[in-house]
Structure 1
Amino acid sequence: MIEMKVAAIALDAVTRSPIVLLKDATERRALPIYIGQDQARSIIGALEQQATPRPLTHDLMINVFHIWNIKLEKVIISTLQDNTFYALLCTKMGKKEKNIDCRPSDAIALAIRAGCPIWVMEEVVLDASIPIDRQADEEEREAFKDFVANLSPEDLIRRTRQEE
């Protein structure tokens, strides 16, 4: 799993649909997830720590978690099927742990409010992320090519023995 943070909320230039953009710690990969208008407002409100006169849905959920001593430990963007992302709320109440199926937009809105990490399964990142720092990716590929090109069988044997 790869931990990611909310980098931005953007609008698709063609459809004008909101997109939440998650980035990894190295800021070399970004994961765009299309979300609804209400979820976009909720995420923005949480990021900006906007107070509302009455609790909105995600605030209500966090209040229920607090009252029942349920800790939201993390959220996981777990799978991508037919262009639809799936997420889990990973909760803990005492010694009991439960994972709750959830839309990624709701999971992200709750994670921000609860201050818990957002994790994305590696296969989801591989399938749906976009590169941000193409130059760093290219430099890494070139360094690996140079390493392999200069690796002799003797070096490989020596390295293997050192690891044992």
Structure 2
Amino acid sequence: MSLVRLNIKGISYSQTQNGAYALILNEVDGDRKLPIVIGAFEAQSIAIALEKEIRPPRPLTHDLFKNFADRFDIVVKQVIIHKLVDGVFYSSLICERDKIEEIIDARTSDAIALALRFKAPIFTYKNILDKAGIYLKVNPKKDDEEQDLDQDSILVDDMVVEEIEASIKDNYMDKSLQELHTLLDEAVNNEDYEKAAKIRDEIDKR
């Protein structure tokens, strides 16, 4: 399967999922966007890594991981979003130490936060982009209509966010409360906390 390189296009607060953010990845050699729902902490960590001038007084968890890896000569070479199941993306960190390569499983939001800190490229497989990629026009700031967003931009138009959320919303509406609680338990047992958060939000709405 062929790999497709992605860049970070933007982050915006989700109006429909409390505490969630929409992260948009952009196909480098194309127009498709890959939208991913992430938590508030991961969104903050990614935003800080994008904004080069922001330096937290104490290292965040992803900064600690980077410092730890630097101390022991571990390098994250690349991140691959390798699987999509029930609306949840699964990723791997391709790491290297002493010329030995290791593959480490990671949540996609954590993997991207680390990729930024290691300046590592982000990839996904073409079949995942074919399945989940969407065409969106991400609007620039209103005071500069003709200038497009660059890779480090973290602002996304509200209309775009609504379209993203419509494209990534998990279909839990046809599930009963009992089924939702069962799915929630399974997600927690599998340490799939992103999926668990979405199911919890649906239960809260009921």
TM-score, normalization: structure 2? Answer: 0.62
Task: Indicate the SS of the match to 2:44.
Answer: helix
Question: 1 or 2, which has the higher strand percentage?
Answer: 1
Matches within 5 A, 1:45-124: 45-49=48-52, 50-124=54-128
| Identical counterparts, % of pairs | 37
Deviations 1:96-147 (A, max 9, x none): 11010000000000001111100111111111110137xxxxxxxxxxxxxx
Deviation at 1:10, TM superposition (A): 1.4
Task: Indicate the SS of the match to 1:54.
Answer: coil
CA distance in 2, matches of 1:95, 1:115: 18
Task: Indicate the SS of the match to 1:44.
Answer: helix
How many residues align structurally? Answer: 133
Mean CA deviation greater in 106-115 or 49-58: 49-58
Q: Does 1:30 find its partner at 2:30?
A: no
User: Is residue 21–residue 33 contact of structure 1 (8 Å, CA) maintained in 2?
Assistant: yes
Q: Which letter maps to 1:48? A: E
Deviation at 1:71, TM superposition (A): 1.0
Task: Indicate the SS of the match to 1:35.
Answer: strand
Greater radius of gyration (CA) = 1
Where does structure 1 differ by over 6 angstroms across 4 or more consecutive aligned residues? none
- Alignment RMSD (CA, Å): 1.3
Deviation at 1:14, TM superposition (A): 2.5
CA distance in 2, matches of 1:53, 1:28: 38
Query: Which residue in the other structure is 1:9 paired with?
Result: 11
